[in-house]
Amino acid sequence: MSLVDEVRQRFGVLPNFFRLTPENPDITAKLWGFACFGYLDNPLPSLFKERLFVWLSRFCEVRYCIVRHVGFLVGLGRVAGDACCIPQSVEEILRLVRRPVPLAGSLQTCIERCSSLKEPLSVMPQPDSELEWAMFACATHMFLRTSAESACSDALRRALGPAQTENFLLLLAFIRTAHFWTELHPELKFEEDIQHLLVTHRELGQCLLDDPASELGNTSQSLLAELDSLRKEKLEIERESRRRLENDLAESRLLHELSNELIGEQQVDVLYDKIIDAAARLMHSPCATMHILRGRVDGSKALELLGYRGFAKDAAKQWEQVDLESATMCGSALSNGHRIVVPDTEQCSTMAGSDELAVCRKLGIRAAQTTPLYSRAGAMVGTISTYWYDAREPSEHEFHAFDILARQAADLIERAQANEALRASEKRLMTIIEQLPAGVGVMDATGVWTLNNTLMKQYMPTSIPSRRPDRDSHWRVWDKDGNLSAPESWPCIRALGGETVMPGMEMLYTDDEGREYWMRVSAAPLQNDSGDIIGACCIVQDTTQLKRAEHALREADRRKDEFIATLAHELRNPMAPIRNGLQILRLSGADNKAAEQIHGMLERQVNQMVRLIDDLLEVSRIASGKIELRREPVDLATVLHSAVETSRALIDAAGHQLTISLPHESLVLHADPVRIAQVIANLLNNAAKYTDPGGQILLTARRDRAEAIVTVRDNGMGIPQAMLGRIFDLFTQAERSYNRAQGGLGVGLTLVRTLVEMHGGSVEARSEGVGKGSEFQVRLPVSIQNRQPRELDQQPRPSDALCGHRILVVDDNHDAADSLGMLLKLYGADVCVVRDGPAALAALDTYRADVVLLDIGMPGMDGYEVARRVREKPDFHDVTLIALTGWGQEEDRRQSKDAGIDHHLVKPVNVSALERLLADTRKRGGSR
């Protein structure tokens, strides 16, 4: 196939372009080879290649290329030699060739569009799309080699990728070759099909043949000149914009740097100076001042100078203090609430004749402005002013940046005032907490102190010990059960977890020198407005002295208990022979009625003394209301007579007249007769003590439904109204004169109330005032049971409970031992009496006793040791050991049990109780 046939077959027509050198077929063949390589067989899409060929041919002075390739596009031949490519319409071609040449801003947009692609195109853009146009625009400046060639080349490389870029550049090279070839052959004629197209579509023909862009193709110089002119104009615009931008950037940087310094810088005076310097720079002024609004002692306000620039120190004194009512720019700005601008001080009517105008003239100031500063809450906090030596009015642009600075200045003043108020508040708080007798500390969320007084620094210098491994060893903490707690359970850690630890935990602190301090540490969490825990408050109270006092008090209480126990023991020892003697007299068979009465009276009084001695041992229990009652059905009249009998001596000694009024019916109480008698006796004793000699005392009893009411009334000194509410409190006594002082510790009425309430009753004190007597009314529930005769009221008689027993009495008190031996013999027992422990052990070997009554507190070998040695001998295993002692506390009973003693009785012994004990032992078949 010939070259001509090959060209015709590929294009569908034979373009005149390939008929130019029939005399030199080699040139035509090479031209055709390049056309196939760079254009026809180029992998780029056919329509994209043809449209780009048409667009770039606008810049060729010879019209043949653009007209011929437009013909290919509309179907006069094949589009880029591709028989499968669909031709375009004339309208689509017109839109393409009428596009303006992309210059300046429009070119930059095209470059950015190509450069913004994240990945190279896998498919070429659609015809007439914005992306296609962006690629054509970049290709134009590469084709014409303008100053934008490099930027356009980079953009296309990013859009196309390496392989497609090479194909694209190859196409541009062939188009440039085709243009050069046609320009060398101006004799090229349009083919007939093209001529017909131009005639048929005149608008298209006019557009193609008269395109002014073709003049650019004559030489690239004309285009370059125009582009250079445009570039210079653009550069000038850019230069001016850059200058403005750099200025704006410098101002923004200045404001930004100042903002950063406001955050980090703590020296406000330094920041004030920087803000004043920035104000002068932003407003292009030589002078500036800044004022803060402060309150005065008299309640008025004034502006105080914070700093200045551009003035001498003497000149700045003119603005050190500015009253709000003064005729100044600062005063006007604050009173009016807006900015004051004076472009020309000489022309300002409000400044005419003012002192400030005279100052401005003296300093050479011709223009000024003052801007009020407002806090974020809208409160006015100060002013900032700038001054010029020439008449001028600041621009809107200057004020824009200056207002940002004014906002920063207001924030700084507000922050400084807040910090100042905070420091003042902290100082007041520190003054307060330094006076407290406790360590006080406020910590952040990490446990580090943000505020603490001197005492806290002594115990916890920098932070809580649970966060300091080097300090937690100095502390030991106990929980409420007395167990040691781990650091994570200590009060401050718990408070940081949201728990309020009150009233605190007991902690022991040991300092570096080994000294110990007892503390009570409490803590509570601190929260912000959102409820987040931001720290905690801790209180450390030094309880060392209290601990020592508690220890001393416990020691004193222990010694007191020992003293009382010893006293009770010593009192019981003489009571034992007294009771024994009374029992002996009664059992001796005396029939004299008077003697019998005396015996009864003495026995009742001994019983009363025994019970009082028991109370002496229970003094601590009395204070806490833990007295044991021995209830039984009892006739109230009998109890009242017993109480009168107890108080009779005191009443008769003062010459009082006692009147007793009792009901005819019997009022039976389920009560402890001794305790109720003790209550009434206490009330009668008080009446006798606090009534003048020869006074009247009335004791009455009556029934009110289910209650018995006992009243003790006197005409004595009375009770002040203020005392009635607390007359029953422990250690409380009404005021009295010395001639009426009857002793007492103020526990009697407390004991009265306690005992009455324990019986389910109540007691009330009444008095109309000082000198008008007193009345005490006791209410007690009446029992529905009938009274049974008491054992003590029955005539004691010998029984056979003690008969047959061989009893060994061991006591170093001769009277107690001998009288008890005599009494036991009267009851039928065989008795042996010894005086000490060794004698008791010796007697057991010969006497063979089955019961041993053993005193505990003997010299040498005490009763416990005797009991232990008896139990060591198998022969004495069945001997019943009974402690008979004046020691009656729980610890004494425990020691008796540990020593092997079977029973523990307290002196003076009640023979009936001893009988019952031995009878029960006999029923069980032995003592053990």
Tens of pLDDT, residue by residue over 269-283, are: 888 898 999 999 999
Please determine, for residue 378, whether its predicted confidence score (pLDDT) is greater than 70: yes
Going by C-alpha positions, the residue among 91, 311, 338, 61 that lies closest to residue 203 is 91
**Domain spans, the chain:** 3-218, 265-421, 436-542, 622-781, 806-923
**pLDDT 10s digits, 159-182:** 999 989 999 999 999 999 998 888
Identify the three-state secondary structure at position 167.
helix
Please determine, for residue 834, whether its predicted confidence score (pLDDT) is greater than 90: yes
For residue 547, what are the CA distances in angstroms to 517, 518, 552? Answer: 9, 7, 8
* Alpha carbons 116 and 927: distance in angstroms, whole number: 113
**pLDDT 10s digits, 700-730:** 999 999 999 999 999 999 999 888 878 887 5
pLDDT value of position 105? 76
- Considering the domain 265-421 in this protein, what is its CATH number? 3.30.450.40
Tell me the pLDDT band of 449, cut-offs 50, 70 and 90: confident
* Alpha carbons 852 and 871: distance in angstroms, whole number: 12
CB-CB neighbours of 215 under 10 Å: 12
* Alpha carbons 676 and 680: distance in angstroms, whole number: 6
Average pLDDT over residues 139-147: 89
**pLDDT 10s digits, 20-73:** 767 778 888 888 998 999 999 999 999 999 999 999 998 888 888 999 999 999
**pLDDT 10s digits, 64-80:** 899 999 999 999 999 99
With b for 16 or more beta-carbon neighbours within 10 A and e for fewer, the 670-689 pattern comes to bbbbbbbbbbbbbbbbbbbb
Q: Which CATH number is correct for 622-781, 3.40.50.2300, 3.40.50.880, 3.30.565.10, 1.20.1300.10?
A: 3.30.565.10
pLDDT value of position 841? 92
Fold of 436-542: Beta-Lactamase (3.30.450)
Q: Same topology for domains 265-421 and 436-542, yes or no?
A: yes
pLDDT value of position 575? 66
Homologous superfamily of 806-923 in CATH? Response regulator (3.40.50.2300)
The dihedral sign for the CA sequence 340, 342, 345, 346: negative
- In this prediction the pTM is 0.38
Look up tokens 């809107």; give the residue: 396
- The first and second tokens of residue 78, run together, are 């094949």
The separation between CA 857 and the C-alpha centre of its own chain, rounded to angstroms, equals: 62
Average pLDDT over residues 90-98: 92
Q: At what angle do helices 25-35 and 3-11 cross, to 10 degrees?
A: 30
Going by C-alpha positions, the residue among 370, 380, 316 that lies closest to residue 342 is 370
| Average pLDDT of every residue of the chain | 83
Average pLDDT over residues 881-899: 87
Tell me the pLDDT band of 915, cut-offs 50, 70 and 90: confident
Cite the DSSP H helix spans in 340-451.
Answer: 355-363, 396-435
pLDDT value of position 906? 86
Query: Rounded to 5 degrees, what are φ and ψ at 766?
Result: -135, 145
Q: Regarding predicted confidence, which is higher, 326 or 139?
A: 139
Cite the DSSP H helix spans in 670-771.
Answer: 673-689, 721-724, 748-758
**pLDDT 10s digits, 240-252:** 666 766 676 777 7
Average pLDDT over residues 116-131: 92
**pLDDT 10s digits, 484-542:** 888 888 888 889 989 998 888 888 888 778 888 888 889 999 999 888 999 999 888 88
Tell me the pLDDT band of 927, cut-offs 50, 70 and 90: very low
Beta strands in 239-338 (DSSP E): 287-295, 301-309, 321-323
